[in-house]
Chain A
Amino acid sequence: MGNIVAGQPGSVESEETLQYLTFTVLGELMAIGILDVKEIIEVGSMTRIPMTLDCIRGVINLRGNVVPVIDLRSRLADQPSVLSKRSCIVLVQVKVEEEYQTMGMLVDMVNEILEIPETDLQKAPDFGTDIDNEFIDKMARYHDEFIILLNIARVFSIDDLSATKVQQHLALDNLS
């Protein structure tokens, strides 16, 4: 398992068909490589952590381990998620400082596992999408629609997430 680095799903077995887990956020169909996914769980009780950024929804207790959960909607579009019956937490393995750490990702709905050949993957366009270009790794064409392949490493960037609200405010103050 350790041989696979997040954010580079096709690096080991190029020219092959890879499996992707698709999910929906903000009505957009998104996907991540299935090997990055550790588990999918339902939304249970979540503990909010004070003074953290809005995109950090809180922490959950996963079999005794504390797992932080990122609100993907908030992270990508700065809109807090509204929990529904279909809301799920996708647990992913993220490499943080040479160490794999499990992180949770709150999505609106998990769809399915698709097999997309490498040839159908394209570079992300410079503009034309609803979300920040830096979060997009690639665009996959599946039948007649496009699926955004998320850049997990960017989404779970420690530098971004470890900032506290105070720091954020300070930074904003400094800017002004």
Chain B
Amino acid sequence: MDGELKVYLVTPFIIAVLLGAGAVFFDAYIPYFAVLWAVAGAVIGLMFYNKLKQISTRNREIEIELKELQQQSQVNSRVEDQHRQVWEQIVPVWQRHLISSRDLSEGAINELSARFSHLVTLIVDTRNVALAHQQTDNGEGFAHDKKMLTTFFNRLKDYDAATDKLFDKIESLQGFTNDLDQMALAVANIAEQTNMLALNAAIEAARAGDAGRGFAVVAQEVRELSSQSGGTGEQIAHKVSEVKAVMGNILESANKARDQEDETLDQGESYINEVIEHLENLARELITEGESLLQVNQQIQQQIEQVLVELQFQDRVSQILSQVLTSMDSLSVQLRQASEDHSMTIDVNGVLAQMKTNYTTVEEHRQHNPKDTQVDNESAAGGSINFF
């Protein structure tokens, strides 16, 4: 508007000067110049008039605008008040909720971590116990068992050898019974011969007549003795034959028993070997199963340890929440100051910058400005962040 006014003022002046100068230099044409000057003056006066009219309408418009603005500023101040109230009343509630949720999740996750670490110790203990068992049981126990069984079996074999000796002795007894038989036969023979001798003696005694009577008695006695010894010989022979029969039975059953024993021992040996082999196979299977279980156990332990590591997200979450809380605090303070002192403006960029300086995690940087990929790259270049 000022520029325009200047144009309006300068242009008639220049025209007046030019016309004055023309009138001076060209005296002959003064009337023309005077006419021109008057025309120009009229045109300029018209222009001025128009311009003034324009200015007055513009002033009116500005006044209307001003009124509108005033109204709007009143509305704005109401909204601002509402915002302030929101900040002052709702935000603290949010903050409290955030704090409580942070505390809750922290407590729960700490609890979870404690449980998981307890699980890990349990797993480690179990594995150590299993390993200890495996080391002690690994084949050694079976070798011991086998040794014991073999010892027992060898004792059985010794017993078998002893019974074999017994049987041999019984067999040698049979030879003795044969001798006894011979002896009984000899006794019978002697008795027979004695009998005959006694008879002959009796005959001689009879021939001797009265003189031989005493001798006849002796001969009779001898004969009786011989018959007794003959009876005894028969008894001996009878008993010997009985003993022989019994001995034969004993030998037969002993031989049977020996054969059975040998067979049983052979079978027992094979059975024991089979059983030991079976048990060893079982033990081997158990050991391999145990080893695979231990591997699974270790994997579970690793998984749980990983879970424990991942449970440390709580730290990050709580840091992020703390950051948000502090930002909210500082923003609240600034808002309060701003509401008290209207000249003060809220420095949003400043607040953002301050937030950024307080960031400790990659996520905070990333979430602060999702479109800014540079942050990602920087933090990625910065290497991995170690949690503990």
A40 touches B206 (CB 8 A): no
Q: State which size class the interface on B falls in.
A: 10 to 19
B239 contacts the other chain (Cβ, under 8 Å)?
no
Q: Which of B196, B199, B202, B223 has the most CB of A within 10 A?
A: B199
A39's nearest neighbour on chain B, judged by CB, is B200
Please tell me the size bucket of the interface on A. 10 to 19
| Contact pick for A37, options B193, B196, B203, B223, CB 8 Å | B203
Establish whether residues A34 and B203, one from each chain, have CB atoms under 8 Å apart when the complex forms: yes
Q: How many cross-chain pairs have Cβ atoms below 8 Å apart between A and B?
A: 33
Residues on A with C-beta less than 8 A from B193 are: 42
What distance in Å separates the Cβ of B281 from its nearest Cβ neighbour in chain A? Answer: 74
**Counting CB contacts under 8 A, is A124 at the interface?**
no
Chain B residues with CB below 8 A from A40, complex form: 196, 199-200, 203
Q: Is A35 touching B206 in the complex (CB atoms < 8 A)?
A: yes
- B202 contacts which chain A residues (CB < 8 A)? 19, 34, 113
Confirm or deny: A48 has a beta carbon within 8 angstroms of a beta carbon on chain B.
Answer: no
Nearest CB in chain A to that of B206: its residue: A34
Beta-carbon contact of A21 and B207 below 8 Å: no
A29 to B298, CA, bound (A): 113
When the two chains form their complex, are residues B196 and A110 in contact, meaning their CB atoms are under 8 A apart?
yes
B:189-223 near A, CB below 8 Å: 192-193, 196, 199-200, 202-203, 206-207, 223
* Chain B residues, Cβ within 8 Å of A110: 196, 199
Q: Which residues of B contact A37 (CB under 8 A)?
A: 203
Q: What is the CA–CA distance of A21 and B202 in the complex, to the nearest angstrom? A: 10
- Which chain B residue shows the least CB distance to A110? B199
Among residues of A, the one whose C-beta sits closest to the C-beta of B193 is A42
Which residues in B have their C-beta under 8 angstroms from that of A113? 199, 202-203, 206
Residues of B within 8 A of A19 (CB): 202, 206
- Residues of chain A with a CB closer than 8 A to B196's CB: 40-42, 88, 110
Taking the closest CB of chain A, its distance from the CB of B187, in whole angstroms, is 14
> Would B207 and A1 count as touching, CB distance under 8 A?
yes
Q: Say whether A165 faces chain B, with CB atoms less than 8 Å apart.
A: no
Q: Which of B193, B203, B206 has the most CB of A within 10 A?
A: B203
Assembly CA distance A110 to B203 (angstroms): 13
The distance from the CB of A31 to the nearest CB of chain B, in whole angstroms, is 13
Least Cβ–Cβ distance between A21 and chain B, in angstroms = 7
Residue of A nearest to B189 (CB): A85
Shortest distance in angstroms between B195's beta carbon and chain A's nearest beta carbon? 8
Contact with B along A39-50 (1 / 0, CB 8 A): 111100000000
Is A154 in the interface zone, CB < 8 Å from B? no
Chain B residues whose C-beta falls within 8 Å of the C-beta of A1 in the assembled complex: 207
**Besides A1-B207, A21-B203, 5 other CB < 8 A contacts?**
A39-B200, A40-B199, A42-B193, A110-B199, A113-B199
8 tightest A-B CB contacts, nearest first: A34-B206, A113-B202, A37-B203, A19-B206, A40-B199, A40-B196, A40-B200, A34-B203
